[in-house]
Structure 1
Amino acid sequence: MTKRRNTRPRAFDPDPNAPERCCDMPGCEKAAGYRAPRSRDTLNQYYWFCLEHVRDYNARWDYYKGMSPGQIEAHLRADTSWDRPTWTFGQAGTTSTRRATPQEEDILDPLDILGTHRRARAERARAQAQDTPSAPMALREPLAVLGLAWPVSLEDAKTQYRVLARKHHPDTNNGDRQAEERLKRINVAFTIVKTHLLAEDLEKTA
C-alpha cells in the first residue's frame, strides 16, 4: 500500500514565487527565498533574505517605531474597526432607530417556562453588573480577544498574552494560516490594552 504524499508546505519553506537572487543582507551570498516589508509605509515593497537573515530582520521589526502612544492607539482603533464606526449588537447605526436591549424580566412568561426564580436571577445579575466597573469602550473588543475581564493589570495582560501567543504561534501549529491570523489579532489586542494601561499609569504618576 502506497502512502499518500504530503504536499503541504512546511512552515519555513521558501516562497515559491521568490526571485532567483542572493540575500539582500550585505555580504550574504545565500539564496533569497523569504520576503520582508521594507517599511510600514511601503508594505508592498520587499527585501528578500535567506532564512537566517529574515528571522533576524523579523525579530528586530517594529511596525510602530517612531510613533507616540496616542498615534499607536488611534492607528490600532482604525485597524480593528476597518475605519468604520461600530455599535452594540442589536442596535442600529443612528440614535433615532436604536432600541434598548430587552431585559429578562421584561419577557412575558405566563407558563413560567423560564423558571420561578427568573426575576431573582435577573436582579442579581443587574446588581452584579452595577458593582463591576465597565471597561472603556476602546478596550472591550481587545479584552474579549484576550479573554480578559476588566479591570485588569498589566502583569495579568502580559501573562495571558504569553499563553495565547504560545498557543496560536504558527510554529506550534505547523504553519497554519488561521493560527497566524489569530496571533495577529492577539498582538493587536494586547498592544491596545498595554498602551491604555501604560497611559493610565502615566496619568496617575503625573
Structure 2
Amino acid sequence: MSVYTKSFDKIRVRRDRQAELKSHAPRCQWDGCEEAGTHRAPVGRMREGEYFRFCFEHVREYNKAYNYFSGLTDNDIARFQKEALTGHRPTWTMGANGHTRVGPDFAQKRSGRAGYYARIHDPFGMFGDRGGEAPRERKAKPLEAKALETLGLDAKATGAEIKSRYKELVKRHHPDANGGDRGSEDRFRDVLQAYRVLKQAGLC
C-alpha cells in the first residue's frame, strides 16, 4: 500500500499529550528543580484549594512526607474524625439541645463556617443564642393590626395582655350589662371578631 493513498491521508496521528502538558506547565516549585511542574500537591490544612506545582519525582517525595494533621493534638484529630461522620455540620438530638450555643470550632474554622452563624436567619430562635443579637419583632399583618386597634392595643401586646383586654371589653359591652344600648352591641360584636382574628393568628 502506498503511503500517498487517500485512505492513508485520513489517519490522524495523536500528539504526545505528555509533551504538550510539559510545554504549558509552570516550573517545578521544588528548590533547584528546572523541570515542568505537571503535578499538583495540596499546600496543607487551613489552605484547602491551594496547591504546589511539582514535577513527577518531587511530587512523590512531597506526598511521602505530607501530613494534613501536622501540629494538631490527638484530641483535635479525634474530634475532627468524629465530626467528619456528619460532614462537619452541627447536629442536635431530636427534642433536646435546642438552646445549645453553636460556636466555630476547629472543623467550622477549617471549612469557612465561622461567619455562617453570624448571617443565619433564625426568627424563631431554634438555634439558641445568636451572639447576643436581639430577637426581631413580629410585624403584625393588616387584619391583625386592625384587630389590635379595635381592642385598644399596639403591635407589641403579649398574649396575656390581649386576653385580659378582651375579657374587660366583653364584660363592659355584653348585652346583659349595656342596658339595651345599640352602640354597645355593635362594639361587642367588633371585639368578638377582633379576638377571633388574633386567636386564629396565634397571638393569644
State the TM-score, normalized to the length of structure 1.
0.33
Q: Which has the higher contact order (CA 8 A, sep 6+)?
A: 1
State the TM-score, normalized to the length of structure 2.
0.34
